[in-house]
Amino acid sequence: MTVFYFVAILSIIFALMTIFSRNPVHSVLYLVITFFTFTVHYVLLNAQFLAVVNFIVYLGAIMVLFLFVLMLLNLNKETEPMKSNLVKIMAVVAGLCLLTTLIGSLQLVEASNPVILKNPEIGLVKHLGKVLFKEYLLPFEISSILLLTAMIGAVLLAKNDPKKA
């Protein structure tokens, strides 16, 4: 139980450092650590399939994309555009208002039961695979089309236009 709170505090700290560090490369590295703590959260929930997918997709694929683009564009602390302090303070106040609203609406919910894994097998690959390929077969196939579309779109967008260049 204490493991959850420890990891939760770590996630919050690293998420804050992600958005407040001035150097974009440091931001990406803090984001990697944040995603790693999320993987630990999935392991704690015994969602093993999600833990593995989170690790591979976020820490592997998405982080490489971010780091690659950051280093390709050669961004660093000197070129980093920053907003004025007034805008920053107003943004933080607005964000805290949002948080207060969310927590306030949480008070309407009656006191919650602890998360008890009724069926610890639920997050295992075997069980999830059965659900995925029986009930959610059509959305699964459609998501493959989505990924294909995204790939084609990304190539088309990032490609140099030969007529212009």
Partner 1 sequence: MEAIVNNIQGVPLNHYILFSSIIFTIGVIGVMIRRNAIIIMMSIELMLNSVNLLLAAFSAYRGDASGQVFVFFIMALAAAEVAVGLAIIVMVYRNTRSVDINSLSRFRW
Q: Which is nearer to partner 1, 102 or 163 (CB)?
A: 102
SS (H, E, C) 47-73: CHHHHHHHHHHHHHHHHHHHHHHHHHC
- Smallest separation (angstroms) from partner 1 to the CB of 162: 14
Selected from 78, 86, 106, 162, the binder of partner 1 by CB under 8 A is 106
Q: Which is nearer to partner 1, 147 or 162 (CB)?
A: 147
Asked if 108 interacts with partner 1 (CB under 8 A), we say no
User: Distance (Å, rounded) from C-alpha 52 to C-alpha 54?
Assistant: 5
- Smallest separation (angstroms) from partner 1 to the CB of 95: 4
Residues 6+ apart with CB under 8 A from 80: 22, 23, 24
CB of 33 closer than 8 Å to CB of 17: no
Binding pattern to partner 1, positions 7-46, x when CB under 8 A? -x--xx--xx-xx----x--xx--x--xx--x--xxxxxx
